[in-house]
Amino acid sequence: NAGVTQTPKFRVLKTGQSMTLLCAQDMNHEYMYWYRQDPGMGLRLIHYSVGEGTTAKGEVPDGYNVSRLKKQNFLLGLESAAPSQTSVYFCASSYFTVFRKARGATSDGYTFGSGTRLTVV
Amino acid sequence: ILNVEQSPQSLHVQEGDSTNFTCSFPSSNFYALHWYRWETAKSPEALFVMTLNGDEKKKGRISATLNTKEGYSYLYIKGSQPEDSATYLCAPTNTGFQKLVFGTGTRLLVSP
């Protein structure tokens, strides 16, 4: 099992260029997420998806677009890259879980990809 | 957006020491809290998912407790080993599904 695979692992872009980050999971997870990691800050949610064909904005969505045409893939697009988008990007996936408080958690948590280090110059 | 605080920011202990970290979060509308271990050059790995007040989870030498009424969770490591060196993240959610808000983590260094 590959788990969650992100491509590419590294990329350098010039300001104004566009690119797409690909996230693929083979665990049949319903939910998928894109986070960015910046020094001194926690992982911040960019966009997420609760199922094929659906996407929603997270905490820091500006400058990014996403698509989930297939359940196993979640694409993150940068239409016009800016230096402020220099970051490490993590994709994650998880099962849909209905938390039944009387019984406790039924989730195994998120499975993360290995990250994409993006530099915009 | 939830305000999540983790303390301490970093910790340096000797092999064999026991240690603990704190995650604080708003107690209102609590739904679940995750703990992750993040080793350098790797991706975060799920440790625990907790939902019930008073929950206590254990995995080997690592355990966690949850107090939803006062808004905190503790992570304990008994007899720290160098391989425990990592950043430990907590991530609560106050929504009905897993839309987590991550803290900045506690960086643990265990020296032999």
Whole-angstrom distance, CA of residue B76 vs CA of residue B73: 10
CB half-sphere exposure, B14, CA atoms < 13 A: 0
| Per-residue pLDDT tens over the stretch B44-97 | 999 998 888 999 999 999 999 999 999 999 999 999 999 999 999 999 988 766
Residue A80 has pLDDT above 90, yes or no: yes
Which chain B residues touch A105 with a CB distance below 8 Å?
32, 49-51
CB-nearest to A101 from B52, B100, B101 is B52
Tokens of B31: 């739904």
| Residue type at B103 in one-letter notation | G
| Per-residue pLDDT tens over the stretch A16-60 | 999 999 999 999 998 999 999 999 888 999 999 989 999 999 999
pLDDT bucket at A121, cuts 50 / 70 / 90: very high
State the best of B5, B40, B100, B104 to mutate against chain A, taking most chain A CBs within 10 Å.
B100
Q: Are A56 and A47 in contact (CB under 8 A)?
A: yes
Distance, CA of B32 to chain centre: 13
For residue B77, CA distances in Å to A92, A111, B22 come to 26, 22, 12
CB-nearest to A107 from B96, B98, B105 is B98
